[in-house]
Amino acid sequence: MNIAKYAVTRPVAVTMQIAALVLLGAICLTRLPVDLLPEVTIPTVNVSTQWPNVAPEEIEAQVTRPIEQALSSVPGLYQVSSTTSTGSSNVRVQFTWGTDIGQAAIDVMQRLERAKRRFPSDPTLQSPTVTKFDPNQSPV
């Protein structure tokens, strides 16, 4: 029996089924948790390194690439991307959703300590700084 024939021959049953679906939808809608500004923790860690007055090519070869290689084995890693400019290197490490960002930042710092051994011994090269991305500090 097709749906149209069923609806025509049994209008009361179809009306009751539609009413039950609408009632069930209304009940589910009232129980649905909704928040205007939900608390979201984006699992991202930034590693910034400053080396004043040094060309981007040299920073990339001697600082950025060793950092990327060291961080490529961090547990829960989703993506590593970097930006190198004159005097600075910025490596962004993204993790899969559900990753504990506190533990991930500790893992990043431990691997950075190993990577710093391969850095040049220039006194103007500053130690890398690790920051967790906090969306609450970004202006809307």
Per-residue pLDDT reduced to its tens digit, 19-78? 999 999 999 999 988 887 777 777 899 999 999 989 999 999 999 999 999 998 899 899
Asked if residues 99 and 76 have their Cβ atoms less than 8 Å apart, the reply is: yes
Asked if residues 63 and 115 have their Cβ atoms less than 8 Å apart, the reply is: no
* C-alpha to C-alpha distance for 83 and 90, rounded to whole angstroms: 5
- Check residue 117 and give its pLDDT: 87
Residue spans per domain, the chain: 1-34, 44-137
Asked if residues 56 and 85 have their Cβ atoms less than 8 Å apart, the reply is: yes
Percent of the chain with pLDDT over 90: 54
- Is residue 79 pLDDT above 70, yes or no? yes
Tell me which fold the domain 44-137 belongs to.
Alpha-Beta Plaits (3.30.70)
What the block records as the tokens of 63 is 């600082």
- Check residue 1 and give its pLDDT: 63
Query: What string of DSSP letters covers 91-111?
Result: EEEEE-TT--HHHHHHHHHHH
